[in-house]
Amino acid sequence: MERTILHIQVPDFCAALEELRDPSRARRPLAVADPTSRAVVQAVNRPARREGVLEGMPLARAQRRCRGLLVVPCDRSFYTRAHGVIARDLAGFSPLVEGAALGRFFVDLTGTRRLWGPATDTACRLEDELFSRRRLAARAGLAGNKLVSQAAAACVEAGDVSRVFPGAERAFLEGLPVTLLPGIGPATAAVLGDLNIRRVGELAALAPAHLFPVLGRRAGRLLELARGEDPLPVVPFERTAELRVVRLLPADEIDRDRLEAFLFDMVEESGWVLRRQNRMPGRVRIHVRHADGVERSGSRSLPAGSEILDRVLFGAARDLFRAVTTRRVAVRRIVLEWSQFRMPFGQLSLFPDRRVDLARERRIQAALDAVRGRFGRSAVRWGVAT
């Protein structure tokens, strides 16, 4: 059976939610950013975009570019709750709903024609219901896989639906920029640009042997995507929930020990939340932004049966952080994400090559959490040996 995948997206999701909070904001250029001197713009509305303000731009530069810019503090918990509400609305049409990112969803409509009619009609109905119930305007794309449906949605305005029929995937992607493909960021795009490859069709025409020396093991996967091939399934929303901690460092930092101290503080914060919710993550992801604007990220699985202890979680996060931060360039921002949650149940250690007294670790952790529960999370913290 041919798959039918819907990608539905609310443009400028976080800014749109802030406008719903205060409708007068819709008439002004608005940016969502943390209120610090080195903040980066995280979201903008359409008036701000018309003034040249973009996501990822330093806030100071954005304010110079647009003197009347309204800056709203980032309220990620509010955005995450709204994202979850929309996902539950969409789940009424298919059990397979994936929250790809804030305000972006994949819905597998395969086999739902007898229930809801043609997929295009279903997409229109979902857009209408989202606007009538949540006052959010969305755009939608339909195709046989996630990649092409997302690209189709990006090509239309809010309120419209774009459909790519089976067999037309490669032709549809040919004229689009290579940066549309997952895994091609500014650095990879620059490498491809040096080869005069700027469109997806130009990339798809290459032989693997020509691309492998440039991109290594990623070459095969990127060629598949460029040809419109994406077998990845829609992952149900409950399996894509995540806990995310973001740190914008007080100053660009290159010292390894200081960077890992910041990381440990982030692990402490997330570990406190995980233990209170009794959730063990199955995967950790780290994303860093360097001072020169280059971004790096990576993820890895955690062994089943691991414990929700700060030092155990830090062992996994630190190893991944070291693998991600191989450049000798100062780090400006760190994002730590835990996902694929499950109930904790085992006694296995993340340190198979070290003798970690888990019983002792549990007692220490329980004592720390008891103090924090009574006096606040910052009442007691791990020290650093000097």
Instruction: Let me know whether 152 and 9 are in one domain.
Output: yes
The amino acid that residue 321 corresponds to is: F
Q: Is residue 82 part of a domain?
A: yes
pLDDT of residue 331: 94
How far apart CA 230 and CA 146 sit, in angstroms, is 7
* Predicted TM-score of the model (pTM): 0.69
Cα 361 to Cα 116: distance, rounded to the nearest angstrom: 54
Q: What does the pLDDT read at residue 349?
A: 41
Q: Say if CB 258 and CB 246 are below 8 A apart.
A: no
What's the confidence (pLDDT) of residue 376? Answer: 66
Q: Are residues 38 and 117 in the same domain?
A: yes
Output the pLDDT for position 386. Answer: 46
Taking the chain (386 residues) in consecutive chunks of 10 residues, what is each chunk's mean pLDDT? 93 95 92 81 93 90 93 89 92 90 93 93 96 95 95 93 95 92 80 91 90 83 91 74 85 92 90 78 90 86 72 89 92 91 50 51 73 67 59
CA angle at residue 55 from 46 to 147, to 5 degrees? 90
Structure confidence at residue 345 (pLDDT): 46
- Which helix (H) or strand (E) element contains residue 346? none
* Residue 206, domain extent: 171-226
Strand-pairing partners, residue 70, are 30
Same-domain check for residues 184 and 139: no
Q: Name the residue with tokens 């200081």.
A: 258
Query: Is the residue at 384 inside a domain?
Result: no
What pLDDT sits at residue 285?
A: 93
Strand partners, 143: 5
Query: 232 in a domain, yes or no?
Result: no
Looking at the fold, whether 185 and 291 belong to one and the same domain comes out as no
How far is the CA of 278 from the CAs of 33, 186, 259, in angstroms? 31, 39, 28
CATH code of the domain containing 279: 3.30.1490.100
Q: Return the pLDDT at 208.
A: 86
CA distance 147 to 141: 10
State whether 147 and 16 are in the same domain: yes
Q: How many distinct structural domains can be found in the chain?
A: 3
* Closest to 79 in 3D by CA, of 12, 10, 17: 17
Residues 189 and 102 in one domain: no
What is the predicted pLDDT for the residue at 382? 67
Predicted local confidence at residue 237, as pLDDT: 61
Segment (H or E) for 168: none
Q: What is the pLDDT of residue 50?
A: 94
Residue 385 within any structural domain of the chain: no
Domain end marker among 142, 166, 190: 166
Q: What is the pLDDT of residue 20?
A: 95
Which pLDDT value is given to residue 301?
A: 86
